[in-house]
Amino acid sequence: MNYFSDQGYLAVIPEGTPGTAVIPTNFVPLISESIKTIQNLSTDKRMKGRTWGANDLLKGARTQEGEIAVEADPDNLGHFLNMLIKLGSTTGDATDGYTHPFLQGDPDSYTVEFNRGAYAIRVVGVQASELRLEFQDNRMVVKSQIQGLGQFSVATLGVALTGAGMTSIVLDDKYDREPTKGLAVGDKLVIGTDEATITAITDDVTVAITSASLTYSTGEEIHLKAQTPSYTGLRKAFNLGNMLIGLGADEASATSNAGAIATATPVHDFAIVLNRNILTIPRSGRLDPVAIKRQMLEGQIEMKQLLENADQRQKFLDIGKQALTLIVKGEHINPDFSTFEQMTFKFHNVKLMENSNNLEIGQYIVDDQKLEVLYDETDGLAIAISLVNKTAGGDY
């Protein structure tokens, strides 16, 4: 049997304890993913009196990493921000919308799960190392580079199952000394043509299951059964046509300029990159990282606007400070159209790293810009992010 990528899914959920799996119940329509287990295997080339170079593979320190790409709708975008940067205190209500501020602090860790057709893969302790917001076909897309503390997808039966009344499954530890890591109560394991529902994680190698008749030999393949996704209440992605960019000498003037089309700066392409420079920490007793630590935050902006005057050239040559505010609105929340879904990014101090004005036949001249997001000594911060949507704060 073959499997088609379009039948896959992504599901996410915050964890109470980093690395302890929770069955993810927030299903996010997926554009692509490239999450992989890097085992850092090497060939065993020790001298053994043979004329062939190697006869086995040796394990190294493992990582779980890759990229997730999804459309940035107002509700699901909050999960990807929450993997990167600290969620502050949510205010508001279901009638007028919830406002979620994101601050410069440690984020939550997540359990994420994908359907790979023949099996589901679940990665635990997930945090984002980099977040890129860009526009494709007018719609905002989030590309998140993630790192995780472990995974569960496929395992091997360690002790034979011998018939009726089986109440536990023992997993082989060839892959990991804790092969049950990544599983949670309520998960379904597929063994051959049978399913078993987990009722408890007994220890590092054993799960308790609902009593079932199972007959399988040691070495049988076991995998995590995929869930049936649900997309109730799915919102539309933010789009370029509903975004306003304000530039100014400081945050107040930039935010004021972003408040109306007449004072906003029209842009034709725009992207934000936020990098957490995370550190994965190995430790004795684990092949996977024991922790993922946040280091210094960094940010860049990529932007194209039609050249209208020499102002941006001056800012580039003088390494002059600007502030930039992005406001993008979604659909209305309140029935009387008084409140809307909205994402706001306030950059208190940005300076041009690159500003080119290339000449091409038949083309308008543009400011093709790359800006570095810097800490502002006057305001005491670099960025302020808020997200207004229909999702209660407790869901993040």
Residue 26 has a pLDDT of 96
pLDDT at 274 over 80: yes
pLDDT digits (tens, 9 = 90+) for 275-290: 998 888 777 778 888 8
Give the torsion through C-alpha atoms of 91, 299, 82, 138, to 10 deg. 80
pLDDT at 271 over 90: yes
pLDDT classification of 188: cutoffs 50, 70, 90? very high
- More confident: 295 or 130: 130
pLDDT at 85 over 80: yes
Residue 361 has a pLDDT of 96
pLDDT at 103 over 90: no
> CB-based contacts of 45: which residues, under 8 Å, 6+ apart?
53, 54
Residue whose C-alpha is closest to residue 31's, from 119, 140, 155: 140
pLDDT at 201 over 90: yes
pLDDT at 349 over 90: yes
Query: What average pLDDT score do residues 123-150 get?
Result: 96
Residue 141 has a pLDDT of 98
pLDDT classification of 126: cutoffs 50, 70, 90? very high
Query: What average pLDDT score do residues 19-33 get?
Result: 96
pLDDT digits (tens, 9 = 90+) for 239-267: 999 999 999 999 999 999 999 999 999 99
Q: Give the global pTM.
A: 0.92
Query: What average pLDDT score do residues 371-389 get?
Result: 96
d(CA 337, CA 321): 37
Residue type, 217: S
pLDDT at 120 over 90: yes
Phi, psi of 376 (to 5 degrees): -100, 115
pLDDT digits (tens, 9 = 90+) for 31-40: 999 999 999 9
pLDDT digits (tens, 9 = 90+) for 359-376: 999 999 999 999 999 999
Residue 50 has a pLDDT of 86
CA–CA distances in Å: residue 212 to residues 79, 167, 169: 37, 7, 11
pLDDT digits (tens, 9 = 90+) for 207-219: 999 999 999 999 9
pLDDT at 124 over 80: yes
> CB-based contacts of 211: which residues, under 8 Å, 6+ apart?
165, 166, 167
**Which range, of 54-58, 188-192, 285-289, averages the lowest pLDDT?**
285-289
Residue 99 has a pLDDT of 97
